[in-house]
Amino acid sequence: MNISVGDILTLKKEHPCGEKRWRVTRIGADFKIVCLGCGHEVMIARSKLEKNIKKIEPVTEAEK
């Protein structure tokens, strides 16, 4: 999967706040993602996250 910092990920399951969209802030063996609903930050393993991605909204050059 081609995921970069700033991309918005829509996951299959929603966060307890009700939001399904997360912004990627760090990439490596683990991803750091931030909930767009409540701002909660989570570190999650790459393998686990890639299984749960429903949609990727890539960051545009203007947003970088």
Q: pTM to 2 decimals?
A: 0.88
Q: What stretches of the chain show up as alpha helix (H) in DSSP?
A: 46-52
pLDDT in tens, 4-58: 999 999 999 999 999 999 999 999 999 999 999 999 999 999 999 999 999 999 9
Per-residue pLDDT at 60: 76
Say whether 57 sits in a helix, a strand or coil.
strand
Tokens found for residue 38 = 């409540």
DSSP lists the bridge partners of residue 56 as: 9
